[in-house]
Amino acid sequence: MSEQRKPAEEYVVIRHRPGYKLKRTLILLAFTIIAAAAGYAAGLAQGGFRFTSAEASNERLEDQAATLKTRYREARQQLVNLERGKLIDEQALNQAREIIVELETRTGDLKSDLTFYKNIMAPSETSKGLQVDRFSLASDREADVYNFKLVLTQVGNNKSYISGVVAVNIIGKRGDEKEIIALRDLSQDIEDLGVKFRFRYFQDVEGKLALPDGFEPFEVQVVAQAEGSKSSQAERTFNWDDLTEN
């Protein structure tokens, strides 16, 4: 048996170039640095653009914010002015209303006075001589206490004085019993059962009266009696509820 022959070993011949690997490494490193620098430059350029845009946007926002602040201050001042103006208008309106009410009240009083004097100076044929013109009541601060005012007039012939006495009675009930109480018994301002009067045109009788406990008034009866040459009598009855409704 013949021996098997081993294939002959092959050898590769490589040209020896001193410094080649180092040179290739340096070239790759140089390309890497250049690429990195280019990328950084591009990024810096893009970043600078973005920064410039952001800065411009920030300036615009600051301008808008300043404008809004100015408009807010102006609007707030306008609101304050409007509120002040509204308050002044309301005060002026209230004052005007008070003045109108006062003038209307005064006008009503003047008309009433004018009618009063006209009736005295130029009466009708059926209302001449001694008259019970009015009786009024105004509530006092105390319960069941009233300020009263009685007005007597001489209508028509006012050239001479008329004199006499006038009696005032409060008619009502206490419990189930009817009761008539003279004004003298209810008022410290009236001393006599009949109040004396003497006047040419008119005379007022004023004072304060206090109702007794348990007494319920219905009417006020006034009887005036003139004496002497002008002897006459005037009588008038006033409903208590009408006198105290205000």
Q: Say yes or no: 44 and 118 in one domain.
A: yes
**Is 148 found in the same domain as 115?**
no
Q: Do residue 134 and residue 239 come from a single domain?
A: yes
CATH of the domain at 237: 2.60.40.1400
Looking at residue 74, its pLDDT comes to 86
Same domain, 149 and 204: yes
Residues 39-80 pLDDT 10s? 655 555 555 545 566 677 777 888 888 888 888 888 888 888
pLDDT at residue 6 is higher than 60: no
Q: Average pLDDT in the 2-9 region?
A: 52
What does the pLDDT read at residue 165?
95
In whole angstroms, give the CA distance from residue 63 to residue 56.
11
Rounded Cα distance, 41 and 102, in Å: 90
* pTM for the structure as a whole: 0.55
Between 25 and 16, name the one with better pLDDT.
25
pLDDT of residue 1 exceeding 50, the answer is no
191 pLDDT above the threshold of 60: yes
Give the integer Cα–Cα distance in Å for 154 and 112. Answer: 17
Q: How many CB atoms neighbour CB 199 within 10 A?
A: 15
- Domain end point (choices 66, 89, 122): 122
Predicted pLDDT of residue 8: 53
Q: Among 207, 178, 203, 202, which Cα is nearest to 192's? A: 207
Q: Do the domain assignments include residue 22?
A: yes
Residues sharing a CB contact under 8 Å with residue 165, sequence separation 6 or more, in sequence order = 192, 194, 195, 196, 197, 224, 225, 227
More confident position, 145 or 7: 145
User: Phi/psi of residue 139, each to 5°?
Assistant: -65, 140
Position with higher pLDDT, 164 vs 111: 164
List C-alpha distances in Å: 204 to 5, 136, 176. Answer: 170, 11, 35
Mean pLDDT, the chain, rounded, equals 81
pLDDT at 225: 95
CB atoms under 10 Å from CB of 236, counted, come to 15
Do 129 and 118 have their domain in common?
no
Q: Which domain holds residue 44?
A: 18-122
Task: Tell me what the mean pLDDT of segment 196-215 comes to.
Answer: 93
Residue type at position 15: R
Residue 118 token pair = 């006209």
134 in the same domain as 28: no
Phi, psi of 178 (to 5 degrees): -70, 140
Residue 3, pLDDT above cutoff 80: no
Let me know if residue 4 belongs to a domain: no
- Same domain? For 100 and 132 the reply is no
Residues 148 and 49 in one domain: no
Q: How far apart are CA 157 and CA 148, in angstroms?
A: 28
The gap between the terminal CA atoms of the chain, to the nearest Å, is 159
Residues 132 and 240 both lie in one domain: yes
More confident residue, 133 or 127: 133
